[in-house]
Structure 1
């Protein structure tokens, strides 16, 4: 959300633009905590522009999504898409393919907490336009 001077009031800085093929659209990542041998959770703030999203993917140790601003989508394989709004929390079960990102007409800012003790994210196929808009 921008203040009167047009500057965004962000909890965390936007970070670096992601150039990975695992995302569609414009997405920024601020790595807040890197997983290590003492604490195997990675924490990042992710900003999705309207229409931006991840590919389908899964996490061997699960993930938690904290919605900070905007309107997002979350969907698990075989389940309906869920609209996610500021202040809501999503718990992604381990090894369940899912995707998340911004809604069609609003940005979405989230903090993700991802367990790394059983391995890295497993990236799958892109989210089809049909899945994204339905």
Structure 2
């Protein structure tokens, strides 16, 4: 008998970043986001762990405003794709599996790409130093310009 190798075929649909492992959460306030973003807290800030952890889902085109974190921030992209930019540096494209570090007190923004949503875990360490300082909205020109 001859045995022919069997190849499994997978028909994967493109990821829908809105179907993350966490609930969608609460809508992000328009004072801090352009477009629709949803926040779901996972670990509240406290004096023992001094770390804040949560999940944000950005609908396509949604993004945070410029902001800083006194002790920095770590982002883990868990689904979809989008952008991250540190003020004065080129915009980075980020996708599922990427990890981004935002240095302390450095202005930056992050959000989904124009056609794809994005899910991200955010980790804010050393919350005793403060959590976030929100600034102005990211303009459409800043959002679409990769430089």
TM-score norm. by structure 2 comes to 0.84
Q: Partner residue of 1:46?
A: 56
Task: Give how far 1:20 is off.
Answer: 4.0
**Partner SS state of residue 128, structure 2:** coil
CA deviation profile, 1:15-73 (whole Å, cap 9, x unmatched): 12223411000010110010101011110100000110001000000000000000110
- Whether the aligned pair in 1 keeps the contact of 2:124 and 2:131 (CA below 8 Å) is no
Cα distance in 1 for residues equivalent to 2:134 and 2:26:
20
Alignment of 1:93-104 (within 5 A): 93-104=103-114
Q: Which residue of 1 aligns with 2:36?
A: 26
- Which aligned segments of 4 or more residues in structure 1 are displaced greater than 6 angstroms? none
| Offset at residue 10 of structure 1 (A) | 2.1
Alignment of 1:110-121 (within 5 A): 110-115=120-125, 116-121=127-132
Secondary structure at the counterpart of residue 117 of structure 1 = helix
The answer to whether the 8 A contact 2:20-2:79 is kept is: no
TM-score, scaled to structure 1? 0.92
Q: Which of the pair has more CA radius of gyration?
A: 2
Computed over aligned residues only, the root mean square deviation of the Cα atoms, in angstroms, reads: 1.2
Does 51-60 or 14-23 show the bigger shift?
A: 14-23
In 1, Cα distance between equivalents of 2:19 and 2:84: 24
**Cα shift at 1:102:** 0.4
Alignment gaps of 5+ in structure 1: 3-7
CA distance in 1, matches of 2:67, 2:133: 5
Counterpart residue number, 1:125? 136
